[in-house]
């Protein structure tokens, strides 16, 4: 059984597609799956209910980060491909010391959108960019990924900004 002190409270995320490193991210949204199902009631003495599985639906994955020199990676990747079908993505959750907590292999990664920063000099918010990806499924764990990551400019961008609670 896992002890409470083994839980990771703050995480970074890294994402690469077909070995192209898109960098590090501080926010992950929309990463979920749901199993469609059908409930049928059979007219019998007990009015038995049966549940039948349907297809698996995956929501779009959204990754956000403060603007850094890594911000150009997404557009470099977009400009380097004309055919996105069948791309395999590796999403990793990393501790603050960048050791891997867990990872997921995504099948059929397709870039959906990129949102550049909205920024107001008078606001205490950090200028963020957000990338959205669709994918058609999760692959078995293992494989993918490269060596030990380096936080680089993302760490300095986050460390240089005081975040209020």
Domain boundaries of the chain, sorted by first residue: 4-159
* Phi, psi for residue 17 in degrees, rounded to 5: -125, 120
Q: What is the pLDDT of residue 85?
A: 64
pLDDT along the chain (165 residues), means of 10: 61 92 93 88 75 89 91 83 76 92 92 86 85 90 45 43 34
Fold category of 4-159 in CATH: Pnp Oxidase; Chain A (2.30.110)
- The alpha-helical segments, DSSP class H, found in the chain are 72-80, 152-159
Structure token digits, residue 1: 């059984």
* Phi, psi for residue 147 in degrees, rounded to 5: -65, -165
Please tell me the chain's helix, strand, coil percentages from 3-state DSSP, rounded to the nearest 5: 15, 45, 40
Beta-bridge partner residues of 52: 38
* Phi, psi for residue 59 in degrees, rounded to 5: -85, 160
Max intra-chain CA distance, the chain: 69
Q: What is the pLDDT of residue 5?
A: 56
Gap between the Cα atoms of 52 and 39, Å rounded: 6
pTM score, whole prediction: 0.73
């Amino acid at each position: 059984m896992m002890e409470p002190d083994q839980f990771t409270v703050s995480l970074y995320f890294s994402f690469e597609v077909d070995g192209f490193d898109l960098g590090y991210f501080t926010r992950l949204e929309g990463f979920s799956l749901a199993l469609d199902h059908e409930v049928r009631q059979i007219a019998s003495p007990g009015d038995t209910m049966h549940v039948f599985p349907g297809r698996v639906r995956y929501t779009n994955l959204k990754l956000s980060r403060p603007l850094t020199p890594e911000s150009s990676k997404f557009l470099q990747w977009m400009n380097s491909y004309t055919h996105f079908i069948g791309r395999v993505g590796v999403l990793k959750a990393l501790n603050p010391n960048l050791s891997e907590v867990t990872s997921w292999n995504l099948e059929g990664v397709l870039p959906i959108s990129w949102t550049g920063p909205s920024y107001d000099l008078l606001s205490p918010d950090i200028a963020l960019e957000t990338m959205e990806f669709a994918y058609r499924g999760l692959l078995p764990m293992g494989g993918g990924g490269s060596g030990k990551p380096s936080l680089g400019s993302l760490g300095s961008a986050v460390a240089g900004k005081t975040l209020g609670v």
